Amino acid sequence: CLRKRPHFASDVYSFAICMIEAAIGEPPFAFLDDDAARDDLRNGEIPEQPEEMSSEEWELVVLMMNAEPAKTTFLVE
């Protein structure tokens, strides 16, 4: 939630990050220094698909990492 106040979409985004970390065993931006990681997050950068995740899992993660809150409402339905 680097742009605004926390809301459901920021929780969804955070969970997507946790899914990547669980799959690869480290944070998705671990190879970057703090400033570069923060910039990537603010710019809505999404890491590359890890080998450890299937295409279906990755598709869900990408949807969950959408920076536009309205585009993550599919999870409520």
**pLDDT tens profile 2-16:** 556 777 888 888 899
Residue 57: phi and psi, rounded to 5, are: -65, -45
pLDDT tens string 48-64: 899 999 999 999 999 88
Residues 6+ apart with CB under 8 A from 40: 29, 32
Please tell me which residue, 18 or 3, carries the higher pLDDT value.
18
In the chain, where are the structural domains located? 8-75
Task: State the burial class of residue 21 (Cβ atoms within 10 Å of its Cβ: 0-12, 13-18, 19+).
Answer: middle
Q: What pTM value is reported for the model?
A: 0.77
